[in-house]
A and B are shown apart, each in its own frame.
Chain A
Amino acid sequence: MSANDPRAVLVEELGRIAPDVDVATIDESADLREEFDIDSMDFLNLVTALAKRFAIPIPEADYPRLGSFAKAVAYLGEKAASG
């Protein structure tokens, strides 16, 4: 697993925002904000952290692609590979 493994990074950053939620217990294909009970400020902080970690722009237009845990892993994997 590389230092920029999308799944590991996502788990780590979500852990900072929602330390009370165990990733093992969530539905990875369900709504990310629902599963982790995160509000718009939390979500913006998550996007900020991810953009920094992967050195990628995450425009607001791409927010729907972070709609679930599984989608976000796929999105980050794609962006990190092409970036």
Chain B
Amino acid sequence: MTEFRMPSLGADMDAGTLIEWTVAPGAHVKRGDIVAVVETQKGAIEIEVFEAGVFERPLVEIGTKVPVGLPIAVIAPAGEAAATPSAPVVASPVEVAAAAAVATTPSAVTETVFVPELAEEPPPAPPAAPVAAAVMSAPPAISTPMEGRPRVTPAARRLAETAGVDLVGLVGTGPVGEIVVADVEARIAAKPAAKPAPVPTPPPAPAAGRGIDPAAMRAAIAAAMARSKREIPHYYLTDTVDLTRAEGFVGERNAGREPADRLLLGTLFVKAVARAVKKYPEFNGHLVDGVFAASKAVHVGVAVNIRGTGLVAPAIHDTEHLGLDELMAAMRDLVVRVRAGRFRSSELADPTITVSSLGERGAEALWGVIYPPQVAIVGFGTPMVRPWAVDGMVGPRKTVVVTLAGDHRVSDGHRGALFLHTIVTLLQEPEAL
């Protein structure tokens, strides 16, 4: 039997609040299956398992804020007979007390972490001191509200917090008995004179992305970027790409295609970076504790703007192996899910290099801030028609300014320039991408 731990959620998040188990005890799971959903500053994240097995039982309750690296469930590896539900792991008195405190003070739940702060970059490996996380006394049934702690959707929880409504005793009417927004609204309506909402902070502005608090996301971005500027000695390079061929290629390819099958120029940018970085491995990987590990796989993080909220850059896995149509489909799918405020844990933890593109309406150039623990970010400005010299003649051409921000601890401007120029060159032969 294996303890399944809260996976890394990216550099800027050290914990997530468990809001849903998506499998029931006894369910068979395979690598990549989603077993739980946690709420973070970047929205709801689906937690995937890394190996096949049988989901035996959860170790933490819904509503618990769990630091990265702590066990959240027991999963028996495939082949190993699922043990009969055993007695819960005995937690130390201190932890039991802490857990009890968590269980009896609902208002404190979302802010209560039951172990001391972890290091900024907790490894996915177990923390040195085993911390028992057996918060529950029995495996909960997936479809029934847990004793003492009703299942609550994130939106309903937020509404309740904002309105100062107590959830205790509220009966949920959601599909599996969870408390939904309508239930909270009903209670608010029933108790117009309920205690005034404690409003230490202004109520969050309604976010376009469901379940994302713009202020929290801004704080997460600020933390990651401040760390980047503090720790990473950035250097910057710039080049310009003549887009005549790339645009022509995309236009020809899209002619006669249904809108659903069309490519965007940005797909070519991402693919060119993925191809180029294979030749320059010092820009593709993670630097952790002063040691850079180049990644064999290329998982390009694609920066996605969430309306009125912020920016995230989840990974497109194995970008260099995807054809342009597959890559386009993957990017479309990612954008839809990110804007809906729901993506997967591996997408946040895995990017090995980031591409940020301003698109059609923006500024001339984008100088990126490296997203730790990555060591490079490639920025594309807005394509514009500029005077351009070809064969001794100056004429108008559509061009785009491409930039590289690199980490001097790993690489320098000489290699950076070669890497950047490779991107420029690849975009001159779009049909070969």
Query: B262 is contacted by which of A18, A33, A44 (Cβ under 8 Å)?
Result: A44
Would you call A20 and B259 a contact (CB within 8 A)?
Answer: no
Residues from chain A with Cβ under 8 Å of B259 in the complex? 44, 47-48, 51, 58
Beta-carbon contacts under 8 Å, B324-364 to A: 331-332, 335-336, 359-361
Beta-carbon contacts under 8 Å, A12-42 to B: 18-20, 33-34, 37, 39-41
Would you call A60 and B262 a contact (CB within 8 A)?
Answer: yes
* Distance of A40 Cα from B208 Cα, bound (Å): 18
Minimal Cβ-Cβ distance residue in A for B331: A41
B34 at the interface (CB under 8 A from A): no
* Nearest chain A CB to B340 CB, angstrom units: 11
Would you call A48 and B260 a contact (CB within 8 A)?
Answer: yes
Query: Could you mark each residue 56-74 of chain A with 1 if its beta carbon is under 8 Å from any beta carbon of chain B, else 0?
Result: 0111100000000000000
* Nearest chain A CB to B246 CB, angstrom units: 14
Would you call A41 and B264 a contact (CB within 8 A)?
Answer: yes
List 5 tightest A-B contacts by C-beta distance, closest first: A48-B259, A39-B359, A47-B259, A48-B260, A51-B259
Residues from chain A with Cβ under 8 Å of B206 in the complex? 20
Residues from chain B with Cβ under 8 Å of A59 in the complex? 255-256
Query: Could you mark each residue 235-266 of chain B with 1 if its beta carbon is under 8 Å from any beta carbon of chain A, else 0?
Result: 00000000000000001001110111010111
Residues from chain A with Cβ under 8 Å of B254 in the complex? 60
* Distance of A16 Cα from B264 Cα, bound (Å): 21
Of A33, A41, A51, A60, most B-chain CB atoms within 10 Å: A41
Taking beta carbons and an 8 Å cutoff, which residues of A are in contact with B? 18-20, 33-34, 37, 39-41, 44-45, 47-48, 51, 57-60
Minimal Cβ-Cβ distance residue in B for A42: B335
* Nearest chain A CB to B168 CB, angstrom units: 33
Q: What are 13 A-B residue pairs whose CB atoms fall within 8 Å in the complex?
A: A18-B208, A18-B307, A20-B308, A33-B360, A33-B361, A34-B361, A37-B307, A40-B264, A40-B359, A40-B360, A41-B266, A44-B259, A60-B254
* Nearest chain A CB to B260 CB, angstrom units: 5
* Nearest chain A CB to B337 CB, angstrom units: 13
* Nearest chain B CB to A33 CB, angstrom units: 6
Query: A60 is contacted by which of B255, B305, B331, B332 (Cβ under 8 Å)?
Result: B255
* Distance of A48 Cα from B206 Cα, bound (Å): 27
* Distance of A72 Cα from B139 Cα, bound (Å): 56
Would you call B208 and A20 a contact (CB within 8 A)?
Answer: yes
Beta-carbon contacts under 8 Å, B199-232 to A: 206, 208
What is the interface size of chain B, counting residues whose CB is below 8 A from a CB of the partner? 23
* Distance of A16 Cα from B214 Cα, bound (Å): 19
Residues from chain B with Cβ under 8 Å of A44 in the complex? 259, 262, 264
* Distance of A40 Cα from B360 Cα, bound (Å): 7
Would you call A39 and B332 a contact (CB within 8 A)?
Answer: no
Q: Other than the known A19-B208, A39-B361, what 9 A-B pairs have Cβ atoms closer than 8 Å?
A: A18-B307, A20-B208, A39-B305, A40-B266, A40-B360, A41-B331, A48-B260, A59-B256, A60-B255
Minimal Cβ-Cβ distance residue in B for A49: B259
Beta-carbon contacts under 8 Å, B351-383 to A: 359-361
* Nearest chain A CB to B128 CB, angstrom units: 44
* Nearest chain B CB to A64 CB, angstrom units: 13
Residues from chain B with Cβ under 8 Å of A18 in the complex? 208, 307
Residues from chain A with Cβ under 8 Å of B335 in the complex? 41
* Nearest chain B CB to A16 CB, angstrom units: 10
Query: A41 is contacted by which of B255, B307, B308, B332 (Cβ under 8 Å)?
Result: B332
* Distance of A47 Cα from B264 Cα, bound (Å): 13
* Distance of A59 Cα from B256 Cα, bound (Å): 7
Minimal Cβ-Cβ distance residue in A for B260: A48
Residues from chain A with Cβ under 8 Å of B208 in the complex? 18-20
* Distance of A44 Cα from B261 Cα, bound (Å): 10
Residues from chain A with Cβ under 8 Å of B332 in the complex? 41, 45
Minimal Cβ-Cβ distance residue in B for A21: B307
Of B305, B307, B335, B360, most A-chain CB atoms within 10 Å: B307
Of A34, A44, A47, A58, most B-chain CB atoms within 10 Å: A44
* Distance of A81 Cα from B258 Cα, bound (Å): 20
Residues from chain B with Cβ under 8 Å of A33 in the complex? 360-361
Query: B360 is contacted by which of A39, A45, A47 (Cβ under 8 Å)?
Result: A39
Minimal Cβ-Cβ distance residue in A for B334: A41
* Distance of A20 Cα from B205 Cα, bound (Å): 11
* Distance of A41 Cα from B260 Cα, bound (Å): 11
Beta-carbon contacts under 8 Å, B290-335 to A: 305, 307-308, 331-332, 335
* Nearest chain A CB to B104 CB, angstrom units: 39
* Distance of A37 Cα from B336 Cα, bound (Å): 16
Residues from chain B with Cβ under 8 Å of A48 in the complex? 258-260
* Nearest chain A CB to B427 CB, angstrom units: 17
* Distance of A59 Cα from B331 Cα, bound (Å): 21
